[in-house]
Amino acid sequence: MPNIYKNKKPLVFFLVPAFLFMIVFLYYPFIKNIVNSFQNIRGLGTAAKGWNDPWYLNFTRMVEDENMRIALKNTLIMILVTIVGQVGIALFLAILVDNVKHGSKFFRIVFFFPIVISATALGLLFNLIFLYDKGMINQLLGALGSKGLIDWKNETHALITMMIPVTWQYVGFYFIILVTGLNNISDELYEAAAIDGATRMQRVRYITLPLLHNVICTCIVLAVTGALKVFDLPWVMFPKGIPFGRTWLTGTYMYYQVFNVSDVDYSSTIAILIVVLGVILSKVVNTVFKEKDY
């Protein structure tokens, strides 16, 4: 029986198609994107009109672009929100559900449910919730005695209004990952700690969190890279970065440059920045939260 695993040749038939798929749909588009960033392309699907003069024109433009600075700032805020909001809340809920003896499957389904809903549908739903007139939140505030209505989409509240549904949508995703990690922790460790007199909080602190360290690290990396790419829900709620262009994210601003301005070469430059930031921040996270062997 073990001799089956000594013949490695059949593995080629499985690896080559996957490798070709990645070349065609991942590596080639990325390399093409780099080339496009140095060319003058003014329409999606149109040929380049030549090389930019100077060739680094789009990169200097990106440094000077105020909207790009707003998008980067908002994206960095989004990263912090996703780490604390999505991963943090998911960890809290996972620990709670892990200690529930009856009905844990029900809570897993409920917390995971937002992931299966279309982001477009969620965007429309939260637009109704945050409406200035007849919106659910303002109606509740009115019922509680508040006299003034809050414009949740003005320049002051727009960023918070956008980040609340994004955080809510992906909590369930990290919740499932963390619950799976909790299931791999032996109950004997908790029983031994309980016999030694450890409280529930001490068991969480000295057993659960250390043994979940690598899983939490993975969740944080996914949260950081996901925040750089988030697009659909914010775009539905705040198309074209309204109000006053203060809600731009790197993903929405890149999309705007392609389909609204038809500035393909500049959007390619933004895409390169997103990839570079994703690689750098992932490396930083992996350095700060080093995986441990137990």
CA distance linking residue 173 with residue 170, whole number of Å = 5
CA distance linking residue 132 with residue 146, whole number of Å = 14
Q: What is the distance between the terminal CA atoms of the chain, rounded to a whole angstrom?
A: 32
pLDDT of residue 100: 81
- Write the CB contacts of 130 (distance below 8 Å, at least 6 apart in sequence): 137, 152, 153, 161
Tokens 């032996």 correspond to 186
How many other C-beta atoms can be found within 10 angstroms of the C-beta atom of residue 7? 8
The phi and psi torsions of 50 (rounded to 5 degrees) equal: 130, -175
pLDDT of residue 153: 84
Say how far residue 140 (Cα) sits from the centre of its chain: 30
How many other C-beta atoms can be found within 10 angstroms of the C-beta atom of residue 274? 18
pLDDT of residue 293: 65
pLDDT of residue 175: 93
Across the chain, which has 294 residues, the per-10-residue mean pLDDT values are 65 88 92 92 84 90 93 93 92 88 82 86 89 85 82 86 90 92 88 88 89 91 90 87 82 90 91 93 85 64
CA distance linking residue 36 with residue 267, whole number of Å = 9
Query: Residue 23 gets which letter from DSSP?
Result: I
Q: Which two tokens stand for residue 197?
A: 């007199």
String of DSSP letters for 218-249: HHHHHHHHHHHH--HHHHHHSGGG-STTTT--
The phi and psi torsions of 291 (rounded to 5 degrees) equal: -70, 145
pLDDT of residue 200: 86
Q: Which fold has domain 56-288?
A: MetI-like fold (1.10.3720)
Segments in the chain forming alpha helices (H): 11-22, 28-36, 57-64, 66-81, 88-98, 104-112, 119-129, 136-143, 158-183, 187-195, 200-203, 209-211, 213-229, 232-237, 250-259, 264-288
CA distance linking residue 292 with residue 177, whole number of Å = 18
Is 150:157 a contact under the CB 8 Å cutoff?
yes
pLDDT of residue 89: 94
pLDDT of residue 190: 87
CA distance linking residue 74 with residue 79, whole number of Å = 9
In the three-class reduction of DSSP (H, G, I as helix; E, B as strand; rest coil), residue 33 is classed as: helix
